[in-house]
C-alpha cells in the first residue's frame, strides 16, 4: 500500500479540531494541577504537619508507581460508582490533574528550595506573614525558578491527553481513530496527528524559552 | 503607641534573653536597654551570638527565655510554657516599625527597585499606591538610588543592593533599625557608600543597633559600643572608652586580633571615610 498524502490533507480540518480539544484538556488539566500543587506545597511547608507531609509523599509514590492509563480508567469508572457523573471529558481532566499534581509538587519543591532563607526573613522582619509572605515574596520566586521543568511537565500532560481517547474523549487521537476506521488509511491520518502533536509541543517549549530569555535580558 | 513619650529611656528593653540551639546555649541571659535616638554598635568574635541576639530584638528568632519590649509593648517574651506566637497580628505590626538590614541584603529579585520599597508599605502599612510610591521615592533618594528605581535588583552592585534594603526599611517609618553586619558582604570600595547612609541616619536621630566589624565607623557614630563574647555582654560603654581603654583581657585580645593596635578615633586608620564625607 502506497503512502497517499491526500488522506492526510483531507483529515487536517478534523485533526485541527481535535487538536483544539487536546489543547483544552492539557491546559485545564495542567492549570488545575498547578493550583492543587501550589496549595499542597504551601500547606505542607507552612503547617510543618508531619501527617500532611507523609500523605503527600505516599500520594506521589502511588502516582509515580502506577501507569497513567490505569489511573485514568480508575477515575473514569470509580466516579460513577460513588455517584458522581461528570462525563468522560471532566473525568479525563481530573485524572490528568491528579497525575500531574504529583509531578508539579516535586517541581515546586525544588523551586522553593532555591529561594534563600533570607528572603523569608526579610519579608517577616518587614511584617509580612502568612498569605502575603507567600503570594508577594515566596511563590513568585518559586515559580520563576520552576519555569523550565513546569514547561516540560506541560508537554508531558499534552502528550498524555492521547490516553484519554481510551475513555471516549474525542480529542486528537480519537478523532484520528474515527477517521482511519472509515478510510482505512491509518498511516496517513496518524502522520497528520503526529505532526499536530509535535507542533503543539514545539510551540509551547519554544515560546517558553523565548519568554524566558526575554525575561533574562530584562533582568540581567 | 501608648507608652511612647515617657519611655525615652528604655525605649527598647531586652531583658535576660536566653537562647539555645540544641544543647548549646548561645545567649546567657543577655540584657540590653536602648534609649530613643541611641546608636549601639555590637562587636565581638565570630560565633559569640551577636546575630542571634539582634534577631531576638524583633523576635525573628524567638528566645527561650527573657522578653523584649519596645516602648513598653511586648515584642516577644516567654512568660510561661506557652510561648508567644510568632505569627500574631500584633507582632507583625511591631515588626513593621522595627527595620532589619541583613548582611546578604535580601532584596527581592522578582520585584523592581521601586516595587521592593513599595510592596511592604502597601501590604503591611496598608498605604495606597500613590502614597507608597511617594514614600518609596523619598527613601530611595535618601540612599542615593532614586535614579535606579526601574532597575532590577540583580543589576545593582552589592552596595546598591544594601542601600535598597535600607530604603525598603526606611519607607516603613521605623522607630528602630537593626543591622547585622551591613557591610560585611561588600567589596571594600563599596563599604563607604553604605556607611555614609548609616551616618546620615544616625545624625537624623534614628535609633539603631548595628552589629559591625567596622571599628572606625563604630567609634565615630556609636553612642555606645557593646562587646559580646560567648553569649554574654562582656563590656559596654562609650566608643572611645571601649576601644581605647578596654578593661577586660578578652576585649584587649579581640581588638588586637582585629589589628587595630594603631587605631585612634577619627584617625580613619582602617581606610573608612572620615565623618565629614558622610554629610
Ligand atoms: N539556626 C541555628 N541553628 C543552630 N545553631 C545556630 C543557629 N544560629 C546560630 N547558631 C549557632 O549559634 C552561635 C552564635 O551564632 P551567631 O550567628 O549569633 O554568632 P555571630 O556572633 O553573629 O557570629 P558571626 O560574627 O560569625 O556572624 C554559633 O555557634 C552558631 O553556630
Ligand atoms: Mg552574625
Number of the ligand 1 atom closest to the C-alpha atom of B181: 27
Cα angle: A65, vertex A70, A74; to 5 degrees? 115
Long-range contact pairs involving A10-17 (C-beta distance under 8 Å, separation at least 24): A10/A183, A11/A176, A11/A179, A11/A188, A11/A189, A11/A192, A12/A192, A14/A175, A14/A179, A15/A172, A15/A175, A15/A176, A15/A179, A15/A189, A15/A192, A15/A193, A15/A196, A16/A196, A17/A175
A136 Cβ contact partners less than 8 Å away, ≥ 6 residues apart: A123, A128, B119, B123
Closest partner CB to A127 (pick from B93, B106, B165): B93
- Report CA torsion sign: B140, B146, B149, B153: negative
Pocket test for ligand 1, best of B51, B64, B227, B229 (most atoms within 8 A of CB): B51
**How many beta-carbon contacts under 8 Å exist across A and B?**
68
CA of B2 to the centre of ligand 2 (A): 33
Report CA Rg, chain B.
19
| Rounded CA separation B54/B228 (Å) | 12
Domains and CATH numbers, chain A: 5-219 (1.10.3720.10)
Number of the ligand 1 atom closest to the C-alpha atom of B49: 18
pLDDT number for residue A219: 59
Pocket test for ligand 1, best of B20, B26, B234 (most atoms within 8 A of CB): B26
Give me the percent of chain A exceeding a pLDDT of 90: 86
Number of the ligand 1 atom closest to the C-alpha atom of B231: 14
Residue with the larger pLDDT of the pair B91 and A81: A81
User: Quick check: A220 pLDDT over 70?
Assistant: no
Q: How is chain B split into domains, by residue range?
A: 1-97+175-279, 107-173
Using a CB-CB cut-off of 8 Å, the residues of chain A touching B98 are 125
Positions of chain B with pLDDT lower than 50, given as ranges: 1-7, 80-84, 86, 261-262, 264-279
Closest partner CB to A132 (pick from B95, B123, B172): B123
User: Quick check: A47 pLDDT over 80?
Assistant: yes
Report the Cα B213 to chain-centroid distance in Å.
13
For A35-58, the DSSP string reads HHHHHHHHHHHHH--HHHHHHHHH
State which residues have CB under 5 angstroms from ligand 2, the bound ion.
B 51
User: Quick check: A36 pLDDT over 50?
Assistant: yes
B contact test, residue of A126, A129, A146, A212 with most B CBs within 10 A: A126
CA distances A11 to A178, A193, A198, B195, Å, are 10, 9, 17, 72
Residues B31, B208 contacting (CB under 8 angstroms): no
pLDDT number for residue B259: 64
| Rounded CA separation A121/A134 (Å) | 12
pLDDT number for residue A65: 97
In which order are the strands placed within the sheet that holds B39-43? B98-101, B176-180, B208-211, B39-43, B224-229, B232-237
The response to whether residue B55 sits with its C-beta less than 6 Å from ligand 1 reads no
CA of B232 to the centre of ligand 1 (A): 13
Query: Residue B227: nearest ligand to its CA?
Result: 1
Which helix H or strand E contains A81, and what residues bound it? helix A68-81
Using a CB-CB cut-off of 8 Å, the residues of chain B touching A116 are 104, 106
Number of the ligand 1 atom closest to the C-alpha atom of B61: 1
DSSP class of B19: E
Query: Residue B61: nearest ligand to its CA?
Result: 1
Q: Whose CA is nearest to atom 9 of ligand 1?
A: B52
A140 touches chain B (CB under 8 A): yes
| Rounded CA separation A185/A178 (Å) | 11
Q: What does the pLDDT look like over A148-194, one tens digit per residue?
A: 999 999 999 999 999 999 999 999 999 999 999 999 999 999 999 99
pLDDT number for residue B7: 43
The number of CA neighbours under 13 Å toward the Cβ of A150 is 22
- Cβ separation B123–A130 shorter than 8 A: no
User: Quick check: A15 pLDDT over 80?
Assistant: yes
* CATH for the B1-97+175-279 domain, from 3.30.67.10, 3.40.50.300, 3.40.50.1980, 1.10.8.420: 3.40.50.300
| Rounded CA separation B109/A113 (Å) | 15
Using CA coordinates, name the residue in chain B closest to A118.
Answer: B106
The response to whether residue B26 sits with its C-beta less than 6 Å from ligand 1 reads yes
- Cβ separation A220–B95 shorter than 8 A: no
Closest partner CB to B106 (pick from A119, A127, A128): A119
Q: How confident is the model at residue A217 (pLDDT cuts 50, 70, 90)?
A: low
pLDDT number for residue A48: 87
Using a CB-CB cut-off of 8 Å, the residues of chain B touching A141 are 108-110
| Rounded CA separation B63/B60 (Å) | 9
| Rounded CA separation A39/A131 (Å) | 11
Q: Which three cell numbers stand for residue A94?
A: 481530573
- Cβ separation B123–A136 shorter than 8 A: yes
Three-state SS at B138 = helix
Amino acid at each position: 500500500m502506497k503512502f497517499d498524502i491526500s488522506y492526510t490533507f483531507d483529515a487536517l480540518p478534523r485533526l485541527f479540531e481535535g487538536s483544539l480539544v487536546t489543547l483544552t484538556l492539557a491546559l485545564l488539566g495542567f492549570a488545575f494541577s498547578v493550583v492543587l500543587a501550589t496549595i499542597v506545597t504551601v500547606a505542607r511547608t507552612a503547617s510543618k504537619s508531619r501527617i500532611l507531609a507523609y500523605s503527600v509523599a505516599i500520594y506521589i509514590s502511588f502516582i509515580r508507581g502506577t501507569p497513567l492509563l490505569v489511573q485514568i480508567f480508575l477515575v473514569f469508572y470509580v466516579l460513577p460508582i460513588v455517584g458522581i457523573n461528570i462525563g468522560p471529558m471532566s473525568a479525563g481532566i481530573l485524572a490528568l490533574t491528579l497525575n500531574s499534581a504529583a509531578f508539579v509538587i516535586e517541581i515546586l519543591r525544588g523551586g522553593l528550595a532555591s529561594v534563600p532563607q533570607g528572603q523569608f526573613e526579610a519579608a517577616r522582619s518587614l511584617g509580612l506573614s502568612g498569605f502575603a509572605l507567600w503570594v508577594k515574596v515566596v511563590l513568585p520566586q518559586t515559580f520563576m525558578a520552576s519555569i523550565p521543568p513546569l514547561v516540560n511537565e506541560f508537554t508531558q500532560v499534552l502528550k498524555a491527553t492521547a490516553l484519554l481517547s481510551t475513555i471516549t474523549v474525542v480529542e486528537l487521537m480519537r478523532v484520528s481513530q474515527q477517521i482511519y476506521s472509515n478510510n482505512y488509511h491509518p498511516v496517513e491520518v496518524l502522520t497528520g496527528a503526529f505532526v499536530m502533536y509535535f507542533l503543539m509541543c514545539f510551540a509551547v517549549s519554544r515560546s517558553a524559552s523565548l519568554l524566558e530569555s526575554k525575561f533574562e535580558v530584562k533582568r540581567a | 503607641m501608648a507608652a511612647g513619650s515617657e519611655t525615652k529611656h528604655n525605649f527598647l528593653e531586652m531583658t535576660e534573653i536566653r537562647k539555645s540551639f540544641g544543647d548549646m546555649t548561645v545567649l546567657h541571659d543577655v540584657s540590653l536597654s536602648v534609649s530613643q535616638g541611641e546608636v549601639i554598635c555590637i562587636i565581638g568574635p565570630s560565633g559569640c551570638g551577636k546575630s542571634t541576639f539582634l534577631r531576638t530584638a524583633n523576635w525573628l528568632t524567638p528566645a527561650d527565655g527573657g522578653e523584649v519590649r519596645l516602648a513598653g509593648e511586648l515584642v516577644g517574651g516567654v512568660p510561661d510554657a506557652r510561648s508567644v506566637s510568632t505569627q500574631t497580628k500584633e507582632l507583625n505590626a511591631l515588626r513593621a516599625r522595627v527595620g532589619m538590614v541583613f548582611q546578604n541584603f535580601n532584596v527581592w529579585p522578582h520585584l523592581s527597585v521601586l516595587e521592593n520599597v513599595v510592596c511592604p508599605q502597601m501590604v503591611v502599612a496598608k498605604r495606597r499606591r500613590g502614597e507608597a510610591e511617594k514614600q518609596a521615592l523619598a527613601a530611595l533618594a535618601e540612599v542615593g538610588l532614586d535614579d535606579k528605581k526601574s532597575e532590577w535588583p540583580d543589576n545593582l552592585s552589592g552596595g546598591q543592593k544594601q542601600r535598597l534594603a535600607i530604603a525598603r526599611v526606611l519607607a516603613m517609618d521605623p522607630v528602630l533599625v537593626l543591622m547585622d553586619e551591613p557591610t560585611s558582604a561588600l567589596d571594600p570600595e563599596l563599604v563607604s557608600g553604605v556607611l555614609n547612609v548609616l551616618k546620615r541616619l544616625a545624625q537624623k536621630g534614628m535609633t539603631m543597633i548595628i552589629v559591625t566589624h567596622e571599628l572606625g565607623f563604630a567609634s565615630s557614630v556609636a553612642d555606645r559600643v557593646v562587646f559580646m563574647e560567648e553569649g554574654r555582654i562582656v563590656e559596654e560603654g562609650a566608643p572611645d572608652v571601649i576601644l581605647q581603654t578596654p578593661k577586660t583581657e578578652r576585649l584587649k585580645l579581640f581588638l588586637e586580633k582585629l589589628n587595630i593596635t594603631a587605631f585612634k578615633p577619627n584617625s580613619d586608620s582602617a581606610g573608612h571615610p572620615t565623618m565629614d564625607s558622610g554629610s
